[in-house]
Structure 1
Amino acid sequence: MARSDVLRGDALPAAKVEPVTLRTVMRQLATGVTVVATDSQQGPVGVAINSFTSVSLNPPLVLFCIGRESRSWPAIEATQRFAVSFLTEEQEQVARRFCASGVDRFVGQDLRTAVTGAPILATAAGYVDCTLDQVIEAGDHHVVLGRVVGAGVLNHARPLVFTQGTYRSG
């Protein structure tokens, strides 16, 4: 198809994108649901994250984004290591627990220990174990790059995804 054959409708107006607009639009994108965790001096610390992706195979790098106001971030930053557990469709309640405040998020969780010492959810689909490589300040979030030092598949289950404000199976 030639470029001139592409159908074009009316041009969309350029405007300042308000936070509520961006949130509404971004809800249309399905994302995987993960738990990022570390083992601090006070015990395990973890948080549900859906902004996670692979960045590079050589060197092996992944990234996640976390709000600057997150209460879990200081422990992750202090330990300089973390593991990311990939949640399965059966783990919606786990995701909800790791989003909640004021609760012990690890109660009742079957854990394994990664090479770095970070906790991994034993019933997750898979995991990556990382050392902190770089932190980039980006608006109201930190973009966290992790160097993968270990990885594995734990369970061949369908992934838990988040889209349009709700959890679904992938």
Structure 2
Amino acid sequence: MTAVEPELRRVYGAYPTGVAVVAGLVDGRPAGIAASSFVPVSLDPPLVSVCVAHTSTTWPLLGGLPRIGISVLGAHQEHIGRRLGARTGDRFAGVAWRSTAGGCVLVEGASAWFDCTVEQRVRSGDHDIVVFRVHDLDAALDVPPLVFHASAFRRLG
């Protein structure tokens, strides 16, 4: 850790972000991570991105899958954000999810979801920026998103 890191965390935390679950089927079981760095990238072609820490032990299992699901958690799903952000235990215990024919894992009740393939990885500092091509998507516009702000989960409104 650098001397600047605590200040960086504090200042980065001033910017609220949505909370997304990046998940797929690994040996028939759901595997996934929580990401607060989900960003739409492009309309043509349809691209989104997340940043994944080099220390992640789950991303190596997901990165080679043919399809990966991204679910933007709803405000009522803070418990799922906490569970998927944990480093140990069964992250999907008690989480309602479904899988697609291609192997995406999508969280039920999310405010939005995306069926994706990995398009590009860019090594950047202590994370990789992973760009995904979107193949299918939907949103529940009546479900407000969960946000992460100042090191805590928050609800809009």
- TM bin (shorter chain): over 0.9
Cα contact 2:66–2:102 (8 A) shared by 1: no
2:125 match: 139
Give deviations 1:60-114, integer Å, cap 9, x for gaps. Answer: 0000001001011101112143111011111111100011122111112221223
2:109 match: 123
Report the TM-score, using the length of structure 2 for normalisation.
0.92
Separation of aligned partners in 2, 1:42 and 1:113: 10
SS at match of 1:22: helix
Q: Does residue 108 of the first structure (1) align with residue 131 of the second (2)?
A: no
Separation of aligned partners in 2, 1:115 and 1:63: 22
Cα contact 1:115–1:129 (8 A) shared by 2: no
2:33 match: 47
Match of 1:161 among 147, 150, 155: 147
Unaligned runs of 5+ in 1: 1-15
SS at match of 1:75: helix
Separation of aligned partners in 1, 2:70 and 2:123: 20
Deviates more, 1:137-146 or 1:154-163: 154-163
Report the TM-score, using the length of structure 1 for normalisation.
0.85
Q: Does residue 36 of the first structure (1) align with residue 22 of the second (2)?
A: yes
Identity of aligned residues (%): 35
Aligned length: 155
SS at match of 1:91: helix
CA RMSD of superposed structures (Å): 1.7
Deviation at 1:125, TM superposition (A): 1.1
Letter in 2 for 1:92: E
**Greater C-alpha Rg:** 1
Separation of aligned partners in 2, 1:54 and 1:31: 12
Name the CA shift for 1:155/1:117 in 2 (closer, same or farther; >3 Å): farther
SS at match of 1:152: strand
Cα contact 1:125–1:154 (8 A) shared by 2: yes
SS at match of 1:102: coil
Q: Does residue 91 of the first structure (1) align with residue 77 of the second (2)?
A: yes
Unaligned runs of 5+ in 2: none
Separation of aligned partners in 2, 1:133 and 1:126: 20
